[in-house]
Amino acid sequence: MWESIQSMCLHVVFILFTILIYQVFFKEREEERKKIRSKFFLFMLIILVFTMSQPVLYSETYKYDFKAIVIILSFLYGGKKVGFTAFLALLVIGFLTAQKLLILLGNYSVYCLLLLPVTRMFHRYQIRGKVLVISLFYMMIPITRGIFLELKGDQRQTYFELGSSLIVLATLIAIVYLIENMNEQIKMKQELMQAEKMNVVSQLAASVAHEIRNPMTSVRGFMQLLQKEELTKDQQFYINISIEELDRAQEIINQYLALAKPQIDQYETIDLTSLIQQSIDVMQSYAILNSIHIKQEVESSLEIEGLKLEVQQVFINIIKNAIEAIKSDGEIEIAGRKLSNGFISIQIKDNGVGMTKDQIKKLGSPYYSTKEKGTGLGLTVCHQIVKQMGGRILIKSELTKGTCFTINLPAYKKKEEGYTP
């Protein structure tokens, strides 16, 4: 019995140490999702080989290992591909170590199928909710095993099964806490780096924007004077291009200044339903020019607090990006509704070219853009405006199928009037 406990402790230490090595030395360095998944699977495979080749021996007829942890973690943090690949690896190792293959196949096929909805549920919650979900799922395993052993009349083995399962559950909970806390630290570090980038952009804007604007205004004025002269078609064409590029540069400077001088002390109540309609009206001609239909379904009387021009800038920018993402004869759907959590959700969905997960991850960062002539500042400004209002922008996209921007903003709360009796 004592040897079994020692062996279990060895398994627990090995699993925790392996997960810790992955989180510290590999997870933080990798940015591409495919590389993260492949390395995560490699570490899961190492744990699987160790625990199945060195099981805990309770008796000559009964062995116990921690392979359930590997399968659960593979689905939760690696996704379906990593999960099912780990399941196949489990079967191969089971065959090589002379385990009962049909029992493995039957039991873990059921676990894998059950883990698909459990994984979706798991990622909806914060850390405590995640621990509760995975605990309830895992306890099905020892309960079913315990019932089976009890029917066989082997009470000692039943007690060992339940005790071992509690150790596995405690290990699983510890791993979830470890991974979630370290992921949160990585996220905070990335947000800090993003904030530093924004600070650099703001300082750059404050230091050079005004100096650049003055000569640009003079150049544009002289260009307009030249337009009044008798010029050839080519000369007129080049002057028009020059003025357009000056205007584009002016717009970029305005975006820099918007980052440098956020205004949060002049908020007003905004009729969001009306503002969305105004934004659509502004972009309607641009959409028609590109043979794109804009369809809307927005609830009435949606109200928020903010700066009207800034909020309109967010909608116009995202609608413009949606139009430019569609090659031709496309459709943009705009929907707005009030949620039960006190937020208003606005969805802007297109059927354009779409984006990869890596592109989505970088979207909103200064200087990153999916467009050839883009600076990335447009969406950076959008993110900052929404964040200052206490909201959030969520992006879902799939290549060749389109992109959906979801803007969640806090709904305006009317102050209740008190009375004096």
Query: Per-domain residue ranges for the chain?
Result: 2-191, 199-260, 268-410
Query: Do 2-191 and 268-410 fold alike per CATH?
Result: no
137 touches 125 (CB < 8 A): no
- Per residue in 238-285, pLDDT (tens digit) is 888 888 878 877 776 776 666 556 555 567 889 999 999 988 988 888
pTM: 0.58
The per-residue pLDDT for 61 is 63
Summary mean pLDDT of the chain: 81
> What is the number of other CB atoms lying within 10 angstroms of the CB of residue 344?
22
Phi and psi, residue 175, nearest 5°: -65, -45
Exposed, middle or buried: residue 151 (CB in 10 Å: 0-12, 13-18, 19+)? exposed
Residue 148 contacts residue 62 (beta carbons within 8 Å): no
The alpha carbon of residue 79 and the mean position of all alpha carbons in its chain are separated, in whole angstroms, by: 14
Contact status, residue 77 vs residue 179, Cβ threshold 8 Å: yes
CATH number of 268-410: 3.30.565.10
Give the tens place of pLDDT for each residue, 92-131: 998 888 777 888 888 889 889 999 999 999 988 888 899 9
Burial class (CB within 10 angstroms; exposed 0-12, middle 13-18, buried 19+) of 382: buried
CATH number, domain 2-191, options 2.40.50.140, 1.10.1760.20, 1.10.10.10, 3.30.70.3040: 1.10.1760.20
- Helices and strands of the chain, counted as H and E runs: 13, 9
* Nearest residue to 44 via CA among 64, 24, 11, 67: 67
pLDDT tens track for 134-156: 988 888 877 877 777 667 666 66
DSSP string for residues in 247-282: HHHHHHHHHHHHHHS---S--EEEEHHHHHHHHHHH
Q: What is the pLDDT of residue 32?
A: 54
Return the pLDDT at 73. 92
Q: Which residues of the chain carry a pLDDT beneath 70? A: 1-2, 26-34, 58-62, 149-150, 152-157, 194-210, 252, 255-266, 364-377, 414-421
The pLDDT assigned to 173 comes to: 92
